[in-house]
């Protein structure tokens, strides 16, 4: 049995959204599964003494252009949301609640719903009312989802996930670990494809 691909992401990361649209099919082609890990980029940036690319005026316009171009290249629907970026801790807590209580598939479905809502329709995942409505739209018990993101248990679960990601060397998203080998960025897809097909190079 081949080890799963660890996929670290933040719901506010455009490149994570794009990667989320291809990672399952790519893994399946190579007899793998995907083990998603929702994290907060702000926490990893702080640990690595980094800032978001859009925090730098000289990079901001290019970054927005590249988000759109990268999505177009992958044939993934994309509309630049506003505001951007946003805090995503509540969406991430719902993810961990689902993953730990219902399993990987339920969490993956929520990840897909959250990404598509934010990056195609501009649904503000940081606003509780919008997030609760999205939970209902995604077929979840909206009241239970709201309870989860306010529950200290799931707050602590996300905190632990961030700490474990940093301990694993994660400093950005999307970040993949395949058989112990780390790959950072949606643009590492060709390397990941070759690694999965033929091993180290």
Q: What is the pLDDT of residue 56?
A: 79
d(CA 43, CA 87): 11
Q: What is the pLDDT of residue 55?
A: 74
Q: What is the pLDDT of residue 161?
A: 96
Please state the pTM of the whole predicted model.
0.94
Q: What is the pLDDT of residue 23?
A: 97
d(CA 201, CA 194): 8
What pLDDT tens digit does each residue of the chain (201 aa) get? 899 999 999 999 999 999 999 999 999 999 999 999 999 998 876 766 667 777 778 888 999 999 999 999 999 999 999 999 999 999 999 999 999 999 999 999 999 999 999 999 999 999 999 999 999 999 999 999 999 999 999 999 999 999 999 999 999 999 999 999 999 999 999 999 999 999 888
Q: What is the pLDDT of residue 50?
A: 65
Question: Before 85, cis peptide (omega within 30)?
Answer: yes
| Angle at 12 (CA atoms; ends 6, 13), nearest 5 degrees | 55
d(CA 156, CA 172): 21
Q: What is the pLDDT of residue 58?
A: 87
Q: Quick one: tokens of 19?
A: 């990667």
d(CA 97, CA 14): 23
* Structural domains of the chain, with CATH: 5-198 (3.40.30.10)
Q: What is the pLDDT of residue 51?
A: 74
């Amino acid at each position: 049995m081949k080890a799963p691909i660890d996929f670290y992401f933040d719901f506010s990361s455009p490149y994570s959204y794009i990667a989320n649209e291809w990672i399952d099919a790519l893994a399946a082609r190579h007899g793998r599964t995907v083990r998603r890990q929702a994290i907060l980029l702000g926490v990893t940036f702080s640990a690595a003494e980094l800032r978001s690319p859009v925090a730098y005026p000289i990079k901001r316009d290019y970054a927005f252009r590249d988000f759109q171009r990268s999505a177009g290249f992958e044939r993934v629907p994309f509309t630049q949301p506003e505001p951007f970026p946003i805090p995503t801790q509540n969406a991430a807590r719902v993810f961990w609640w689902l993953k730990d209580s219902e399993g990987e598939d339920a969490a993956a479905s929520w990840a897909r719903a959250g990404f598509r809502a934010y990056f195609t329709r501009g649904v503000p995942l940081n606003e509780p009312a919008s997030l609760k409505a999205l939970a209902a739209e995604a077929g979840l018990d909206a009241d239970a989802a709201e309870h989860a993101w306010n529950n200290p248990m799931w707050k602590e679960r996300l905190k632990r996930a961030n700490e474990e990601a940093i301990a694993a060397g994660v400093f950005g998203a999307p970040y993949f670990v395949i058989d112990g080998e780390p790959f950072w960025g949606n643009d590492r897809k060709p390397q990941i494809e070759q690694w999965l097909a033929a091993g180290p190079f």
